[in-house]
């Protein structure tokens, strides 16, 4: 498939910087043109032996994430809570319901669940879905862009997931539908670019501050874009615009 324009700003001023990798000269967004089934990759290959994101030793036993798995992720999750409070001190008093997109093994939900009256999540991995259910969470299985939730949440979080979503416009549309107040994102940046035909890591996109803002600014107020937790990365705090009152 020939890539003719930027996936964010739609500029035709793009450059093929390596095999199936394109960078926009206007907004600096990078797109990896993986032409196979991305959902199938994430369900069947991602985090499996021989592929990217493999679990650490001792983190999985008989299909269940171990105590060690969660202990290794608690420091990251505590830092996520810290950055949420730093960028919006009232976030936990304002927000009563939470949707975590791509919740993984559920360590972040474990860390924050006492702060909300309702906590739910989405996940594509069957392994993670089973573990989330085992931990008592309401989990909507499948790709976030294709799930019909029919409800909104005060806070929607998306930690290192957006880069795995090929169709950004579908993500944006669904995020608008389910967000009542705030949308929080964290995405990796400045990673080594690889040939997706030989060594795909699940990432379709690498954002710049400009491309991240451009994607969301029509429908969300950009409250903060800064360095995030799992560096190198960008963290963004967005507030949904009120259609009746906001420009």
| Predicted pLDDT of residue 243 | 53
Strand ordering across the sheet containing 138-141: 138-141, 118-123, 97-101, 153-159, 179-188, 233-240, 220-227
pLDDT by residue, tens only, the chain of 247 residues:
689 999 999 999 999 999 999 999 999 999 999 988 777 777 776 656 555 556 678 999 999 999 999 999 999 999 999 999 999 999 999 999 999 999 999 999 999 999 999 999 999 999 999 999 999 999 999 999 999 999 999 999 999 999 999 999 999 999 999 999 999 999 999 888 989 988 888 999 999 999 999 999 999 999 999 999 999 999 999 999 985 556 5
Enter the pTM of the model.
0.94
Using CA atoms, how far residue 232 sits from 92, 98, 144, 188, in Å, is: 26, 26, 25, 6
209-216 helix and 168-178 helix, angle to the nearest 10 degrees: 60
- Contact at 8 Å (CB) between 3 and 14? yes
| Predicted pLDDT of residue 135 | 97
* Chain centroid to CA 194: 20
| Predicted pLDDT of residue 230 | 97
Q: CA geometry: angle at 127 spanning 50 and 119, to 5°?
A: 130
């Amino acid at each position: 498939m020939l890539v003719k324009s930027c996936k964010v700003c739609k500029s035709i001023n793009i450059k093929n910087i390596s095999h199936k990798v394109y960078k926009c000269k206007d907004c600096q967004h990078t797109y990896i043109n993986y032409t196979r089934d991305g959902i199938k990759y994430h369900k069947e290959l991602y985090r499996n032996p021989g592929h990217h994101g493999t679990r650490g030793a001792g983190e999985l036993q008989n299909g269940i994430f171990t105590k060690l798995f969660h202990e290794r992720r608690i420091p990251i999750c505590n830092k996520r809570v810290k950055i949420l409070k730093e960028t919006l001190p009232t976030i936990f008093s304002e927000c009563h319901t939470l949707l975590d997109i791509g919740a993984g093994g559920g360590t972040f939900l474990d860390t924050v669940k006492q702060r909300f009256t309702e906590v739910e999540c989405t996940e594509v991995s069957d392994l993670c879905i089973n573990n989330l259910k085992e931990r008592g969470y309401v989990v909507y299985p499948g790709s976030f862009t294709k799930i019909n939730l029919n409800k909104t949440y005060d806070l929607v979080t998306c930690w290192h997931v957006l880069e795995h979503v090929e169709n950004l416009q579908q993500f944006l549309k669904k995020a608008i539908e389910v967000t009542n107040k705030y949308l929080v994102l964290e995405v990796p940046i400045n990673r080594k670019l690889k040939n997706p035909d030989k060594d795909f890591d699940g990432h379709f996109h690498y954002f710049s501050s400009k491309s991240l803002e451009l994607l969301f600014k029509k429908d969300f107020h950009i409250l903060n874009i800064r360095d995030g937790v799992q560096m190198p990365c960008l963290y963004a705090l967005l507030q949904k615009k009120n259609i009746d009152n906001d420009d």
